[in-house]
Amino acid sequence: MTYIGGDGIPIEKKSVKKVIYGKTWILGSAGADNERSYRFNRMMSGDKRYKVGEDTPDQIINRAIDKYSKSADKFEGAHFLEVNVLNTISYRNKKEEDDELKIDKFDEGDFHSFVLASNYPSMSLWKVDIFGNLRPPDRDEIETEFLEYIVIGSGADTVRKYMGSSIESDRIIPMEIDISKAIDIAVDALHKAEKDIFTGFPMDLIVLTASEVESYGERINETITRAERDEIKKIKENYKAK
């Protein structure tokens, strides 16, 4: 749950998913939530009330990938134009606020970056930076040629340390990773990041393969809710009149 206010002041509580998906893609976000990011999130989730233009979310994603695939860094403009627009407007709004408060500071965490995974036209992974550029995993950051991953957000440093130490100690062996092990790694990494005050729960889990995208977030949350309800029922039994 995220407080959203056009001027940065918490005035309303809305449910915001940090990970959304379509037929061939998954998009995970990091950055300070505000009204603009909420509208972007709803647009990319297929909410017609927030639709801009005629393109569907799938078409928007595929267009960004096509721009990258055809020319990569030679393309003169943002691969993911909608992200560029999101952060351009967010910057203008924040600049006005900072000018009023006499703050002269650019904090990248105030804007939105993303992790994009897609099986169109083939299995691929990118970071979408705040300017809308698609960038493949940084080999210097990963420190192994046998595994690709990207981490973003306030808990990123914690996750990088966990991944680095796990690979170095052979707790994670890149050549042996399958989907099941990848899920274990992702879940363990998220729990490691829990110490960060801005890393929120409940957990969302979406799996992308070469042929499909499957979301398990609601299933996990329903299981947690059911277990909580059952446990409370058991606790209440201890206090029933005899």
Is the Cβ–Cβ distance between 64 and 134 less than 8 Å? Answer: yes
What is d(CA 199, CA 173) in angstroms, rounded to the nearest whole number?
A: 26
Nearest to 91 by CA among 32, 29, 50: 32
Question: Strands 134-135 and 206-208, how do they pair?
Answer: unpaired
pTM (two decimals): 0.85
Give the pLDDT confidence of 75-102 residue by residue, as tens digits.
888 999 999 999 998 888 776 665 555 4
* Number of C-beta neighbours around residue 202 at 10 A: 10
Of 12 and 192, more confident: 192
Domains of the chain, CATH where assigned:
2-237 (3.60.20)
pLDDT band with cut points at 50, 70 and 90 for residue 105: low
For the cut 80, the answer to whether the pLDDT of residue 2 exceeds it is no
Percent of the chain with pLDDT over 70: 83
Cα-to-chain-centroid distance, residue 161: 19
pLDDT at position 139 is: 72
Residue 36 has pLDDT above 90, yes or no: no
d(CA 152, CA 37): 16
Over residues 151-182, the pLDDT tens digits come to 998 888 999 999 989 998 999 999 999 999 99
214 within 8 A of 22, measured Cβ to Cβ: no
Query: Whole-angstrom Cα distance, residue 226 to residue 194?
Result: 22
For residue 4, the model assigns a pLDDT of: 47
C-alpha span between 198 and 32 (Å, rounded): 10
CA distance 135 to 127: 5
pLDDT tens per residue across span 184-230: 999 999 888 876 555 655 788 999 999 999 999 999 989 999 999 99
- Yes or no: say if 22 and 210 are a contact pair by the CB < 8 Å rule: no
The confidence score (pLDDT) of residue 67 equals 93
Q: How confident is the model at residue 71 (pLDDT cuts 50, 70, 90)?
A: confident
Asked if residue 119 has pLDDT above 90, the reply is yes
Tokens 């006499």 correspond to what residue?
102
Residue 123 in tokens = 């299995």
% of the chain exceeding 90 in pLDDT: 58
Compute the distance between CA of residue 21 and CA of residue 14 in angstroms, rounded to an integer.
19
